[in-house]
Every structure is written in C-alpha cells, then in structure tokens.
Amino acid sequence: MSEFLVFDGVTKRFGDFVAVRDASFAIEKGEIFALLGPSGCGKTTLLRMLAGFIEPDEGRILIEGEDITRLPPERRPVNTVFQSYALFPHLTIRDNIGFGLKMAKRPKAEIDAEVDRMLDLVDLAEHGDKKPDRISGGQKQRVAIARALVNKPRVLLLDEPLAALDLKLRQRLLVELDGIHDEVGITFLYVTHDQTEAMAISDRIAVMQRGGLEQIGTPAEIYEAPVNSFVAAFIGDTNFLRGKVSEILDAEYSRATVESIGEIRLYNDRPLEMGEDIALSLRPEKIRIETHPPAEEAGLNAIEGTVDDVIYLGSLTRYWVRVGDQRIAIEKQHARYQLDERLPAWKDRVWLSWRADDGCLLTDFAVEDTELLSLPPEGDE
C-alpha cells in the first residue's frame, strides 16, 4: 500500500469554529511531510487528532490501512515532539527517554541499552543523569526527540519543534533533524508556521488556512506554482498583477491588460478565455531591473517605472519600483562585485522585464492576502 498515512474527510469543530474542514490527504512512508500555515489554521488540531488528543467530528485516520480514529493516544503507533518539549521535570534525562519503553513493560536491560543508543544519537551521552532543568533549550529539544524516537513510532509528530529556539540553533537543529530522519527512516509529520523551516526540511508541504488545505506539493511546486494568492503570499514574497485577458495569441501565450501597468504577455498555465479576470503571481527574483530598456525578445515583458525604495541586504538588493499606482518588488542577486557597475538608485527611471512563463496564474485571488506581502509603508518623500 503506497498510502501509508491517510486523512479521510477529517473535520473538527470547536463550537461554531471549524478548526479543520474536510481534510483528505495521504502521507507516504518515510517522507517528511510538513503542515504549514499561520496560527489558527488548524495544523496543530490535525496533528493532535493524529496523536489521539482530539477526536475528529467526522472522517477517519488510517495508518497502513488500520483505522486509528478512535484509539486512545497510548495505543497509537505514533509519538510526538511537543513544542514546549514537555519533558518530565521530576525524571532524569535517562528516565525521560526510557519512559515509553517502561510503559511498554520492556526488560530493564533492554531499556538501558536503547536509552544509551538514543543518548548517542542525539549526542547527549554525558547528560543522562541530569534533570531537564539543568540542560539548555537545544538539549531539551534533542531529549524530546530521543524520547519519542526510542519507541520506534511509525510516524513521528513534530509540533513546532524549533519555535522556542533562537535562529542559529534552529538552523543547526534543522540539519540535525534531517540527519536523524536519514538515520532512522521514520515518517515525520512536521507542523510549523515558519515557511523557511518547512521548505528546508520537507519532502512535501501542505499549506493550510482557516481549517482548509490550500495546496499540497514539494517545496518547489509550492513556491514556483502556487495555486492561489494565499499560498503565493504566505510562501516567500511576490507581486500580484490583476487584469483581464485581452487577446489569445496562441496555445502558449495570451495578452492581458493589467491595472496601472498596461498590456502584458501571459503564459497560458491553463486555457484562458477572452475577457476573463486574471491574477498573476510574479516572484521578485524573477524580475530583471535595468537602467536601460532590455533588448526585444519573444515572451519577454518590459515595463518602465521609478525606484521608490532600495534595501541593500548584502547578497541581494531589494527594490520597490513604482509603476503607475502599483509598487513592484524586485530582488537583484549580487553574484559578482563590480566596482564599475552602477546599481539603480532611488528616483532612477528603470526598466523591469520578466519572461511571461515566470509568472504564475492563480486560480483564486483574495485582496486581504496582499497584507501578507512585505511591502514597506507608502513612501513619504
């Protein structure tokens, strides 16, 4: 059976609030699957339903074909790494890690051997006899992972496992977590609100909003081909261009009139109709910014604007260029440092150009999603 873990029409309500709405998806054996979304999107509720702490109102959850929807948490073949670590403060690190095996009534010698193995895996061998309040946050997190993994769960659930740590430690633990996954080969379900974390570690990501699944795909699919404005704006940064189809050129390309920008060329991600309203997501790094008009090229869009804001970030520079009423975000990578290159500066007239097939047609657009974009406040000059 290729479908290892299946959510089948799972719905959960808290009073009038629908925490998870009709979630149906499958996770493959051995993959790292991330549930990504802003707080309150239902990702943690989904995880807690899989762990057994919340019972769904509708739907089923199956692991390898076995329905576990109504099993109590202690009888499910899954273990959880909690956001707050949830280590037992009155037990030593060793006893914390051995807790699950002890509950399973395994012989003491076996528990000791397994705990030793785990302490080695997470590199905490010399801290085994300490209590949790004597070790650092990063070490606590590793204990929490070891405590869950020692039971050899069929799925390891990670609930915002790195949220309480600082950035550098988070990056290091992310790499460690990936290494542990390679070593143990257990399926991971990773819940996070942090898109970089999800992108870095996952094989596939499910983006959630308001209890619903918006899109499931590999990190690249989610980033390069978002289905709607929420996914496009929540993952990375983007520009939204809205307009109407004005001409169907051929099977591949069409033209559209975009508010305050004018005519642009579109790539037909799907069959388009004349006069259809369209919304396009255009990532900032896909746009070239130059102080002179670009050479004519088939499938290339070029528009003129004025630089409104410049933020130099070292490896790249972020520009906001005003074109009519719209501000377009552009990211220019600095692969080489050339003294004679004059970068576009504030108030410069510039030309923006992008290939029509670098834009992504959205199936759905909501104005409030533009608030997720990192636009600076409207310029006071």
Q: How far is the CB of 194 from other proteins (least distance, A)?
A: 20
Interface size with other proteins, residues (CB under 8 A): 24
Please choose, from the candidates 157, 169, 152, the residue with its C-alpha nearest in 3D space to the C-alpha of residue 101: 152
Is residue 107 close enough to count as binding other proteins by CB under 8 A? no
Under the binding rule (CB under 8 A), the answer on residue 312 touching other proteins is: no
Q: Which residue pairs from 307-312 have beta carbons closer than 8 angstroms and sit at least 24 positions apart in sequence?
A: 307/344, 307/345, 307/346, 307/347, 307/348, 307/350, 308/346, 308/379, 309/346, 309/376, 309/379, 310/344, 310/345, 310/346
Q: How far is CA 183 from the centre of its chain?
A: 23
DSSP 3-state of 181: helix
- Is residue 84 at the binding interface for other proteins, with CB under 8 A as the rule? yes
- In the complex, what is the shortest distance from the CB of residue 100 to other proteins, in angstroms, rounded to a whole number? 4
H helix intervals, 17-136: 43-51, 93-103, 108-121
Q: At closest approach, how far in Å is the CB of 79 from other proteins?
A: 6
Minimum distance from residue 49 beta carbon to other proteins (Å): 13
Would you say 59 or 153 has its CB closer to other proteins?
153
How far apart (Å, rounded) are the C-alpha atoms in residues 273 and 254? 9
Q: Does 89 bind other proteins (CB under 8 A)?
A: yes
Q: Which is nearer to other proteins, 140 or 283 (CB)?
A: 140
Specify the stretch interacting with other proteins by CB under 8 A; choose among 97-105, 175-183, 230-238, 361-369.
Answer: 97-105
104 binds other proteins (CB under 8 A): yes
Binding segment for other proteins (CB under 8 A), chosen from 96-104, 160-168, 206-214, 281-289, is 96-104
Alpha-carbon distance values, 84 to 80, 110, 136, 164, 299 (Å): 11, 29, 13, 7, 51
Which residues, including other chains, have CB under 8 Å from residue 84's CB and lie 6 or more apart? 164
The answer to whether 170 contacts other proteins (rule: CB under 8 A) is no
Burial of 75 (0-12, 13-18, 19+ CB in 10 A): exposed
* 192 near other proteins, judged by CB under 8 A: no
Q: Which is nearer to other proteins, 160 or 214 (CB)?
A: 160
Q: Is 14 in the site for other proteins (CB under 8 A)?
A: no
* Rounded CA separation 256/265 (Å): 6
Gap between the Cα atoms of 230 and 86, Å rounded: 33
Distance CA 278, CA 119 (A): 55
Tell me the closest approach of the beta carbon of residue 362 to other proteins, in angstroms.
38
Strands 155-159 and 17-28: unpaired
Quick one: 78 or 330, whose CB is closer to other proteins?
78
Q: Could you give the CA distance from residue 310 to residue 225 in angstroms, rounded to a whole number?
A: 27
Residues 133/88, Cβ–Cβ less than 8 Å: no
Burial class (CB in 10 A: 0-12, 13-18, 19+), 194: middle
Nearest CB to other proteins, comparing residues 38 and 72: 72
Whether the CB-CB separation of 223 and 204 falls below 8 Å is answered with no
Show the site string, 138-167: x = touches other proteins by CB under 8 A, - = not. Answer: ---------xx--x----------------
Site string for other proteins, 37-76 (x = CB under 8 A): --------------xxx------------------xxx--
Among 37, 56, 59, 100, binds other proteins (CB under 8 A): 100
Tell the smallest beta-carbon distance from residue 211 to other proteins (Å): 22
Minimum separation from the CB atom of position 52 to other proteins (A): 7
Q: Is 86 in the site for other proteins (CB under 8 A)?
A: yes
**Residue 318 within binding range of other proteins, rule CB under 8 A:** no
Q: How far is the CB of 1 from other proteins (least distance, A)?
A: 25
Binding residues vs other proteins (CB under 8 A): 51-53, 72-74, 78-80, 82-84, 86-90, 99-100, 103-104, 147-148, 151
